[in-house]
Structure 1
Amino acid sequence: MPFLSSILLRWPLCLHCRHVADKTDFEDFNNNSGVDYYLVPNIIHFIRWNISAFNFVDIVCIRAAYIAQKPDRILIHTNIKKFSGKYSEVLKEWPDLYNITEIVESYPPKSIFGQRFRGPFALSHGSDIERIRILMKYGGIYLDRDVYVVQNLNKYRKYEMVLGWINNWPRIGTMVYLAHKDARFLPLYIKTYQGSYNASVWYYNAGRKPVEDILLKRPELIHRVKTKFGVNVEITHYLYNTQNWSDWKKQDTIHLCINHRNYMYPDNFKRYPILDENTILTYNYTFREMAMQAYFARDTLTNHLSNTTSISTT
C-alpha cells in the first residue's frame, strides 16, 4: 500500500538486502576500513512534522534520493495522517517510488532528560533527537528534507556510523547520517544532552557538543566524511549564484539550505521567490540542472521492488 493511505511497512526480498549484517557488537570496529559487506540497511528516513503538503524542492529531493540510492524503503516519520496537495499527486506518477514510500507515525518530542524543548528552535531541537532515535530503532540513512543525493551511498554502508565533519570545524553536520542501529555513537550522542540542553542556540547540542564531548576523544566511533556530504553552507553560493557549476556532480550529497535562500541570496530570492516545475525552466543557476535531472528524469528502476513481503506494522 502506498504511503498516503497506509503505514504498513514492507521489506523487499532483494539481493543486497540479504547482505545486510545483523551486527550488534562494534567493540574495536574499524570505521576507517569498514567491512566488505553492508552494515547499514538501505532505508532512507525523512522527518516531516506539521506540514501536510509537499513543495517542489521536497519532491526533487525525494526523487533524487530514490534515483541515486535505489532504497528498499523510504520512511517519512510524521504527525500528518494523510498528505495532500499537488505534489502528493505527482508522486503517484512514479509508481516505483510511490510504492516503497511509507508514513510512520511520529510526533515532536517535548523534552530530553527532563529538559523541555522551548523557544524558537524547539521543533528543530526535537528533530535533532528524533533522528537519533529513528536510527537507533531502524538503522539506515537519515536525510534532511532539503538534502539532494547526488551519488549512490552504498560505499558508506559498510561502516558503523557515517557523518559529515569538515576539517577544522568544531561541529558535525546533522543533515546526513548513515548508521547501523547499534552504532556506539548514537546512545552517547543522546547522552550529551543530559543536564546540558541549551534552548537558545540552534546548533550547540546537535552540532558542537558531540564533537567536544565525544569525537575529539573518540574519533574512531564514526567514519568521517570531510567534504563529499556538502554540509558546508558556502557551497550554496554555487547553487543559487553561479551558472553551470559542474562540480556539484562530484559531491555525494548536497544540503540545499533552501529555507535560508531568502536572506542568504536575497536578490535571487526576490527574482524567484517560488521554485517549481515552471519557474525552474528559466532559473539560470546551477540548481536548475539538479532539479531538472531529478524531477524530469524518466523512471529507470521499473519494478525493481516487485517482490515484497509484509513484516510489521507501526
Structure 2
Amino acid sequence: MQGPDDAVLPFWRTLGPISVYENLRPDRMIIHGDKRPTGRWFDELFRIIPILEYEYYPLVEEVYGLKLGHIHHIADVARIDILHKYGGMYFDLDVFVVRPMDALRRYDCVVGIETGNNVTRGLVNAGAIVARPGARFLELWREGYRDYREAGHLYNSGEVPTVLLRKNPELVRVSPRIWHDTNGTILNKANVDLSGFYAYHIWGQLWKGVSNAKLFHMKPNKYLKYNNTLSAIVKQYYIDRRH
C-alpha cells in the first residue's frame, strides 16, 4: 500500500487497511511512503492490525531522466516498481476489500476498470493491482513513462495501461469484481450489495464534491446518523469489532 497524501491520517482511510486484514488475512501488510503519517487513526491502525508495517520508500523524483511533477505520479511509479520487484497485492488506502482474492493469484497481473459517469470511465485504475514478481504488463506500463506527460493527470496511470491492455490482453486479467466507482454509490445509497465483488474503491477524494462532504473528516460514531452503505461499513468493520 502507498502512504496517503494526508500528513494526519483521517479515520475513513483506516477502513481500507482494516478490510484487507480482515478479509485477506495476509502474512504481511506494508504501508510505503517517504513520510510517516501521524495522528490517532494512524496509530490505531497498528493496534488493530498487528502485522502492519511502515516502510520508508524514497520519493521517485524522476523516471527515464524526466522529472515527475506531481505527487500522484510519484506514487504511481513507486507502486509499479514495488509490485514488479516483489509481487503481491497493492491497494490505495481508500480501496475496501470485500472478500478473499486468492483466485486472482493464478494470473500474472490483474487490474480493474473505472465505472461511473465521468470522463475516466473505461480506463484502467491503478488503485488495486494484483501481480506476480516480474509481471510483463508492469514492465510495459513503466516503459510508458518514457512518454511522461505531467499535464495529463491520468495519461500515464490510466490511458497508457488501457492501451496496453487492448494490445496485450494475454498479459493482464481485467476483473469486473474490482469496482472502481466514481459515482459515490455507497455515499448515496443504503444497502448496496458488495458481496459479489472482491474490492470496492471508495473514492474518498470525490467526497469533497458531494453534499455530504463533511464525511471526509468525521469521527466513527458520527457516520451512524447517515442512512448509507458507508455508515454500515463503518459499523461492521470498526464500531462493532472495536467496542
Same fold (TM over 0.5): yes
Task: Give the residue type in structure 1 aligned to 2:158.
Answer: G
Task: Please point out which of 111, 125, 136 is paired with 2:84.
Answer: 136
| Aligned residues of 1:49 and 1:108 also touching (Cα < 8 A) | no
Q: How far apart, CA to CA, are the structure 1 residues paired with 2:169 and 2:121?
A: 14
- How far is 1:50 from its partner? 5.9
Residue 269 of structure 1 aligns with which residue? 213
1:33-182 alignment runs, 5 A limit: 46-48=1-3, 51-81=6-36, 83-94=37-48, 97-98=49-50, 100-118=51-69, 122-165=70-113, 170-182=122-134
SS of residue paired to 1:192 = helix
Q: How far apart, CA to CA, are the structure 2 residues paired with 1:91 and 1:273?
A: 18
Task: Give the residue type in structure 1 aligned to 2:33.
Answer: T
Task: Give the residue type in structure 2 aligned to 1:248.
Answer: L
SS of residue paired to 2:217 = coil
| Aligned residues of 2:32 and 2:55 also touching (Cα < 8 A) | yes
In structure 2, stretches of 5+ residues that fail to align are: none
| Aligned residues of 1:243 and 1:286 also touching (Cα < 8 A) | yes
Task: Please point out which of 166, 169, 193 is paired with 1:219.
Answer: 169
- How far is 1:49 from its partner? 5.6
**Greater RCO (Cα-Cα under 8 Å, separation 6 or more):** 1
Structure whose CA Rg is larger: 1
Q: How far apart, CA to CA, are the structure 1 residues paired with 2:39 and 2:143?
A: 39
| Aligned residues of 1:51 and 1:80 also touching (Cα < 8 A) | no
Q: How many percent of aligned residue pairs carry the same amino acid?
A: 26
Q: How far apart, CA to CA, are the structure 2 residues paired with 1:206 and 1:50?
A: 17
Q: Deviations over 1:90-146 (max 9, x none)?
A: 23543xx22x1111111221111111122xxx1001111110001012110000110
Q: 1:77 to 1:288 in 2, by over 3 A?
A: same
| Aligned residues of 2:11 and 2:217 also touching (Cα < 8 A) | no
Residue 190 of structure 1 aligns with which residue? 142
Q: Deviations over 1:61-118 (max 9, x none)?
A: 111110011011001111225x532123423543xx22x1111111221111111122
In structure 1, stretches of 5+ residues that fail to align are: 1-45, 300-314
SS of residue paired to 1:72 = coil
Q: 1:298 to 1:273 in 2, by over 3 A?
A: closer
Q: How far apart, CA to CA, are the structure 1 residues paired with 2:54 and 2:216?
A: 29
Q: How far apart, CA to CA, are the structure 2 residues paired with 1:277 and 1:54?
A: 13
Q: How far apart, CA to CA, are the structure 1 residues paired with 2:187 and 2:114?
A: 22
Residue 7 of structure 1 aligns with which residue? none
Residue 151 of structure 2 aligns with which residue? 200
What TM-score do you get using the length of structure 2 for normalisation? 0.90
- How far is 1:181 from its partner? 0.9
- How far is 1:249 from its partner? 2.5
Q: Answer yes or no: is 1:243 the counterpart of 2:190.
A: yes
Q: How far apart, CA to CA, are the structure 2 residues paired with 1:170 and 1:240?
A: 22
Residue 283 of structure 1 aligns with which residue? 226
Q: Deviations over 1:276-299 (max 9, x none)?
A: 212112122111111221113538
| Aligned residues of 1:49 and 1:107 also touching (Cα < 8 A) | no
Q: How far apart, CA to CA, are the structure 1 residues paired with 2:44 and 2:3?
A: 18
Deviates more, 1:138-147 or 1:214-223: 214-223
- How far is 1:169 from its partner? 5.6
- How far is 1:220 from its partner? 0.4
Q: 1:166 to 1:202 in 2, by over 3 A?
A: closer
SS of residue paired to 2:194 = helix
| Aligned residues of 2:10 and 2:217 also touching (Cα < 8 A) | no
Query: Which one has a larger percent helix, Structure 1 or Structure 2?
Result: 2
- How far is 1:55 from its partner? 1.6
Q: How far apart, CA to CA, are the structure 2 residues paired with 1:69 and 1:291?
A: 18
RMSD: 2.1
